[in-house]
Amino acid sequence: MIMLSAALALIGAVVYGAADFIGGLAAKRLRSIIVTAASAASGFVFLLLLLPLIGGRWIPSDLLWGAVAGAFGVVAIALLYACLAIGPMSILSPLTAVVSAIAPMLWGLLIDGETLSATGYVGLAVALVAVVLVGFIPGEKVVRPSARGLVMALGAGLAIGAFLIALDQTSPDSGVVPLLMTRATNMAITSLIIIALIARAVRAGRHPGSILDVSGVAIGATPSGHADLEHATVGSVGAPSSLARAWTLAFICGVVDAAANVLLLIALRTGDLSIVSALTALYPAGTIILAAIVLRERVGAIQWAGLVLALVAGGLLALA
């Protein structure tokens, strides 16, 4: 079962990265919070359609944990925006990913009492190195990050880690029900934010539709709290040719992200939180792969090394 869990976590990480990439493209034409809200809604519908197939009991405690996970996802998104705006991405992006792996990893080993073989611990170490290399932003000028940026990156990583820990508390009998609650929470919070933006626009004498325009840092994020940091500042490269296409990408992002959530949940229920969190933190790999295929971007040597180490880590953890 551990081998299956590791495989699902690694595949889920790539799918998460794909969702981030698609959301990043949508955010070239739509405001980031709109992309997040739209992806939360489409993901909710997708999970609702899966419910009759996968099933799940509506257990109050699992509903609560799902809501907690959803709230942490929104916190992670907010901190990622703020973190990116401060920069530098080349340091804060890998830091966020590493913290998102270490926090649930320590929870699993110290709180849940998970035990690993020597191979497993080596795999965790290799995975953390891979997370740093894969999440590195090539070509960006490296400068010393501010204390505020570091705190926000740490907070974003902890929030993503808390998302994983909360989902790990749900019972197998609940099926995808906790994920439905997670999406419902995402939609509720982002809807309130959008309503506030509309009210502010109206008070300022602007048309309500003006809130759709890209504002501030152009970054695509998913309801799970991940973000396409690497392509957040790449001008109009790969931007959707129309607003309708941007909406389509936002909805697709939600479905892909929800699929990654399902893979994550199955991985958590068949394996250890420490292993799943380490492999899930490799989500930038999916973004890198799609950028190379769709945008014909060159994969840097550091990132290639990270991708290779990610596979090695996956193999070692599958044998743990």
Q: What is the mean pLDDT of residues 124-142?
A: 78
Our CA angle for 21, 234, 30, nearest 5°, is 60
> Which residues lie below 8 Å from residue 77, measured CB to CB, with a gap of 6+?
36, 221, 223, 225, 227
**pTM assigned to the model:** 0.89
Question: What is the structure's pLDDT at 229?
Answer: 66
- pLDDT tens per residue, range 56-82: 899 999 999 999 999 999 999 888 878
Per the DSSP assignment, residues forming a β-bridge with 227 are 221
End-to-end CA distance of the chain: 11
What is the C-alpha separation between 136 and 152, in angstroms, rounded?
17
Question: What is the structure's pLDDT at 218?
Answer: 65
What is the C-alpha separation between 65 and 262, in angstroms, rounded?
15
Greater pLDDT, 1 or 61: 61
Question: What is the structure's pLDDT at 62?
Answer: 95
- Maximum separation of any 2 CA atoms in the chain, in Å: 64
Residue with tokens 């590493």: 98
Question: What is the structure's pLDDT at 239?
Answer: 63
Mean pLDDT of all residues in the chain? 85
The sign one gets for the Cα dihedral 224, 64, 51, 188 is negative
- pLDDT tens per residue, range 186-231: 999 999 988 888 888 788 778 777 777 766 566 777 888 888 766 6
Question: What is the structure's pLDDT at 142?
Answer: 59
Q: Which of helix, strand or coil describes residue 221?
A: strand
User: Sorting pLDDT into bands at 50, 70 and 90, what band is 264?
Assistant: very high
Q: What is the mean pLDDT of residues 289-296?
A: 82
Task: Determine the residue type at 26.
Answer: A
Q: What is the mean pLDDT of residues 99-108?
A: 91
- pLDDT tens per residue, range 156-170: 999 999 999 999 999
Task: Determine the residue type at 91.
Answer: I
Strands (DSSP E) contained in 113-250 are none
| CA quadruple 117, 121, 123, 125: dihedral, nearest 10 | -170
Greater pLDDT, 299 or 143: 299
- Return the DSSP state at 108: I
User: Sorting pLDDT into bands at 50, 70 and 90, what band is 41?
Assistant: very high
What is the C-alpha separation between 280 and 31, in angstroms, rounded?
27
**Best CA proximity match to 221, nearest among 77, 18, 44, 28:** 77
